[in-house]
Amino acid sequence: MKIFLRKLVVFFMLVSGISTSMLSATAYAATRGGGSPEQALAVPDGSSVSGQPAPGYTLSEKSYFTDNYGNVLMYINVWGAFGKTGRFAVPQDTDITTMLSIVGGPNDKASLKKMIVYRHEPDEFGKQLYVINLDKMLKDGDTTDFIELRPNDTIIMPSKSTANLASLIGTASSIGSLIYILSH
């Protein structure tokens, strides 16, 4: 009985370690940077940003800023099932299509029907959350629910449940192997 309890404790310690590792990997994937400064406006470190509004603009420095060429930029946050994730400096008039191009599009695990855009501040109608169906655009060319992005918007692409299921099956398989090894 003591051996069984000892193995059970080891099992739970390993399972909690595996889940912690999975959470750490997920957190890292959701926050890793978007590439080098040479890539199209993906300058997460802000090294080429002057921090001054362009002449003739009365924009908040917190929302918009200029690069060394006078382009008005803003930051957006990209999380989830995209080619690249992180914080990106993009032109002020960036729409969903342009954002997708900058981040390398959705990856193969993306759930295209429910991309979420969360506004840092509500729009003029008080709306702060938008759900965008990329699948509809790919099938029919319908971009009616595409919106222009605003400073500090957070775009979230959830993963398909099948991708999550495959990950869970892999973890369960590892745990099963571990139990087999411990019991023999």
Quote the pLDDT of residue 167.
58
- Residue 160 φ then ψ, to 5°: -65, 150
Confidence class for position 123, pLDDT limits 50, 70, 90: confident
Judge whether residue 22 has pLDDT over 80.
no
pTM as predicted: 0.56
pLDDT band at 175 (very low <50, low <70, confident <90, very high): confident
Domain-wise residue ranges, the chain? 2-45+73-183
Which structure tokens are listed for 47?
Answer: 């090294």
CATH number given to 2-45+73-183: 3.10.560.10
What is the C-alpha separation between 149 and 87, in angstroms, rounded?
14
Q: Is the pLDDT of residue 100 over 90?
A: yes
Q: Residue 166 — pLDDT band, cuts 50, 70, 90?
A: low
145: Cβ contacts below 8 Å, ≥ 6 apart: 130, 131, 132, 133, 136
Answer for the pair 98, 83: CB distance below 8 angstroms, yes or no.
Answer: no
- Decide: helix, strand or coil at residue 178: helix
Distance set, CA 4 to CA 7, 16, 59, 174, 180 (Å): 5, 18, 66, 19, 13
Question: What mean pLDDT is predicted for residues 139-154?
Answer: 90
Give the highest mean pLDDT range of 24-38, 51-65, 95-109, 162-176: 95-109
* pLDDT of amino acid 142: 86
pLDDT digits 0-9 by tens, 36-57? 333 333 344 443 343 343 444 4
Which amino acid is located at 2 in the chain?
A: K
pLDDT at 169: 66
